[in-house]
A and B are shown apart, each in its own frame.
Chain A
Amino acid sequence: MKELSVNHLLGIKYINKNDIDLIFETADHFKEVINRPIKKVPSLRDITIANIFFENSTRTKLSFELAQKRLSADVISFSAAQSSVKKGETLIDTVNNILSMKVDMVVMRHASPGASYFLSKNVKASIVNAGDGAHEHPTQGLLDSYSIREKLGEVSGKKVVIVGDILHSRVALSNIYALQMQGAEVKVCGPKTLIPRYIESLGVSIEPNLRKALEWCDVANMLRVQNERMDVNYFPSTREYTQQYGIDKELLESLNKEIVIMHPGPINRGVEITSDVADSGQSVILNQVENGVAIRMAVIYLLASKIQ
């Protein structure tokens, strides 16, 4: 089957392995396109896409916009701060108003988990979830696996540890689903207060000690501490977090093998990761960003081909 099994990208949990393989194959082609002198293809010239971001974002928003423009789509962007949402408009009304301007696809980031799912059931457009609260961030999950595949050849059989604030992380959940679907083994590592209580029911094991986790893994995905989502103090101080769960060059070099370092961004240099690790040869952090554009082009192209 050379098309996606879904009409929206709401979460990794709604797609299957064939979909992931198709997205990666398509992303390979788009990665070649974005390295040409003229980085555009005309395929989506008759499609209009609205990017609706109710939460802050630099990287994801730019990445989506760039992907859409490279596909020659018309793009309109909307951010909550300067909008009618402040005047009390509901989500469905906001989106339907935008859709009556003949918009075919909506890329949305929202603070409430399930917001994109809710939207997909109530409006007539193709929906891409760019992050819904602490639930999923499917394109990030995809580009992280894609980057592993690029660096190590394949994801199947690889050992990946996700380190940090798992509790509030949509990146962690999407990664867990995606990695397991492709046959990788996943562990999580972080302060006990930041590991969700029943995470083992997802088939993921917990390793509280960072050194042990790094010695076990092939890939370490370092997460940022999500201060903006913390209602209480989950650990005594940032310094204590860094001492126990931050990675530095000394720790990296003391391991018995070379592991791949990933981070979804933005990096807090000196907190979860030091500059010399972030900028080292083992880090694929900037490749993740480049791959993000190719993956988003692939997702948007494949969803657009299903729009009637």
Chain B
Amino acid sequence: MQNQTENCHMSQKVLLTSKEVNIILHRLACQLIEKHHDFSETILVGIQPRGTFLAERLKKLLEEEYNIKQIALGYLDITFFRDDFRRTEKPLEANKTKINFLVENKKVIFIDDVLYTGRSIRSALTAIQSFGRPSEIELLVLIDRRFSRHLPIQPDYRGRQVDAINNEKVKVNWIEQDGEDVVYLVTSLEK
């Protein structure tokens, strides 16, 4: 990261304000309830590392404001299922996987903050098989980067669709981690 700031400027634009993020979260929660009712056969799975904040936020919302009892939530780390092992300079940064229940015959909802190439989700699809055979798998993302897919993977629930080009990065901040609920579009301009 230090090398990057020496050589280029970053310009940052707000894509979603706190208020907009909040409204979207409520809307996503309602869409989930519409399909999954009381969530008795459903499991939310946050994709590490950043899907976990969104997953926890949605669980909290569903339990506290919409009175759904006891939503099952797990965290899935996909580091060992990536398809770029030994093909990239990026070092290993695995996080915890915590799925304390069988997903056999359950409806699984993968939750991630940004959907970009789709490779993380492909890895997650393989990884979840280690825990059983879900009856259905759906995908929920806060930001869908529309034309950047490398694989035929699309979300079932999307917060906002964004058209972003390659040197732009979508950064999702959460209150718990970064002090605010805001989504930025960060462009790195090389000198």
Contact = CB atoms under 8 A, between A and B. Distances in A.
Interface stretch (B18-26, B89-97, B145-153): B89-97
Given A37-B102, A305-B86, A42 B126 contact: yes
B87 to A, nearest CB: 10
A3 B86 CA distance: 12
Given A29-B77, A305-B86, A40 B130 contact: yes
A301 B91 CA distance: 12
Contacts of A307: 86
A71 to B, nearest CB: 8
Given A40-B130, A304-B86, A33 B80 contact: yes
Contacts of A2: 91-93
B52 to A, nearest CB: 16
Contacts of B93: 2
A3 B92 contact: yes
A210 interface: no
B81 interface: yes
Interface string B57-97: 00000000000000000000101111001100001111011
Contacts of A308: 86
Contacts of A302: 92
A43 interface: yes
Nearest to A38: B130
B141 to A, nearest CB: 24
A152 interface: no
Contacts of A32: 96-97
A29 B91 CA distance: 15
B80 A43 contact: yes
Interface string B128-140: 0111100000000
- Contact-size category for A: 20 to 34
Interface of B: 77, 79-82, 85-86, 91-94, 96-97, 102, 126, 129-132
Nearest to B79: A29
Contacts of B77: 29
Contacts of A301: 80
B91 to A, nearest CB: 3
Contact of B80 (A25, A37, A38, A41): A41
A38 B132 CA distance: 8
Among all A-B residue pairs, the 7 with the closest Cβ atoms: A2-B91, A41-B80, A38-B130, A36-B130, A29-B94, A43-B80, A43-B85
Contacts of B96: 29, 32
Interface string A19-53: 00000011001001100111111110010000000
Nearest to B91: A2
A43 B91 CA distance: 14
Contacts of B132: 37
Given A2-B93, A32-B96, A33-B80, A305 B85 contact: yes
A26 B91 contact: no
A1 interface: yes
A167 B97 CA distance: 43
A304 to B, nearest CB: 7
A26 B92 contact: yes
A3 B126 contact: no
Contacts of B130: 33, 36-41
Nearest to A42: B81
A41 B94 contact: no
Nearest to A72: B80
A29 B85 contact: no
Nearest to B90: A2
Contacts of B129: 38
Nearest to B129: A38
A26 B86 contact: no
Contact of A29 (B86, B97, B102, B126): B97
Contacts of B91: 1-3
B131 A36 contact: yes
